């Protein structure tokens, strides 16, 4: 009874290696400002599958890519925010692109 969710997640993760595109899941994405003024973004999917290896763009208001990063194994990506307004885009796969504006990022 200790961990009802863990076994399920391991099975899901294994399955996702092969069938990731076929699963009906939605992306989830949020960013906040860490104590050292870095911006930390968390990513994932509603079925609990990992976003590791997916790309994240930091873009200016003309949509120019200022930074491109890769989501780590812990489903996070941390960056030094640019000056001025910007957006952060999680490229979670086809139909799974999610954007957060810098005005919505706080501590």
Spell out a b/e string for 73-87, using b for 16 or more CB atoms within 10 Å of the CB, else e: eebbbebebeeeebb
State the CB neighbour count (10 A cutoff) for residue 20. 14
Nearer residue to other proteins within complex by CB, 14 or 48: 48
Nearer residue to other proteins within complex by CB, 6 or 63: 6
Q: What's the closest the beta carbon of residue 44 comes to other proteins, in angstroms?
A: 5
User: Where on the chain is the footprint of other proteins (CB under 8 A)?
Assistant: 1-6, 26, 28, 30, 32, 42, 44-48, 74, 107
């Amino acid at each position: 009874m200790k961990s009802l969710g863990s076994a399920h997640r391991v099975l899901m993760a294994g399955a996702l290696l092969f069938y990731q595109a076929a699963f009906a899941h939605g992306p989830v994405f949020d960013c906040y400002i860490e104590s050292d003024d870095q911006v930390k973004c968390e990513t994932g999917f509603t079925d609990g599958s990992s976003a590791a290896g997916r790309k994240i763009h930091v873009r200016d208001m003309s949509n120019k890519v200022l930074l491109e990063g890769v989501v780590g194994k812990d489903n996070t990506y941390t960056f030094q925010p640019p000056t001025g307004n910007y957006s952060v885009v999680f490229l979670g796969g086809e139909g799974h692109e999610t954007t957060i504006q810098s005005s919505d990022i706080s501590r």
